[in-house]
Structure 1
């Protein structure tokens, strides 16, 4: 296989793995999609109690200013307790409102079989880690943090520190 085909295959495989990990198991292809502009009032249905989260919590303006990127409004995919916000380009923000320490640890283990190493982020939220995928000159970082029953995952071309800053802002809004 030519070298460029190997790189493209590696990049495609890595992107597919990240997409699977971020969207969560059990997602439905029939899941409704909505824009973040579908209503700011829908941003938090019971936010204080760990209720449903929507992409209105993470508008493109917050994503862009914190991560230093340019992304348009997200498309939203609702998978029960998991909401995935996909922004133009390669940025994904995922909220899970039903994560405990055991589920968080299990999810963390899903990276290794795909050749992705995770690194703990001590002292951040209740627990947190990051993973980095580099292929064909493109690096994608994923920060995953849990605070109480809420997990936030951010995957983008931004640095781990920028993604941590975004996670802090999102936790403050929740």
Structure 2
């Protein structure tokens, strides 16, 4: 599997699936979650509401992932995962790693071969970008399946530096 880190807008990535750093309600929010919902159009919210009515009445648990269609996005799939919130005491790196591996499991299940990830839990969820980068790179490198490309699409230069360092350090 090829792994790369780029600075950019995850909603414009030409990949099979993008990963959404969702909140457990799946109803959209700020940051990456809000940007994905806006770019995907109203069909994404409708599909998420249906998931809440049927499969996930209590919301999506931390560390788990679920797919939806990409709707108006270039990506065919959006894989929603809920990162741990450090401000709520969710500080176990294994929970964070599960976000990456469960999203890859879902990508594999829907036959997505190229996947773009944001820096899950960095930012408003309080995790240090360098720690997120280490956990993410280790989780992706330790995962086995048919995904051919993982692209970390990062918003700021500081987060890009953290992921570049983690990729170089793990090589």
User: What TM-score comes out, normalization by structure 2 length?
Assistant: 0.29
| Structure with more strand by fraction | 1
Rg comparison, structure with higher value? 1
Normalised to the residue count of structure 1, the TM-score between the two structures is 0.29
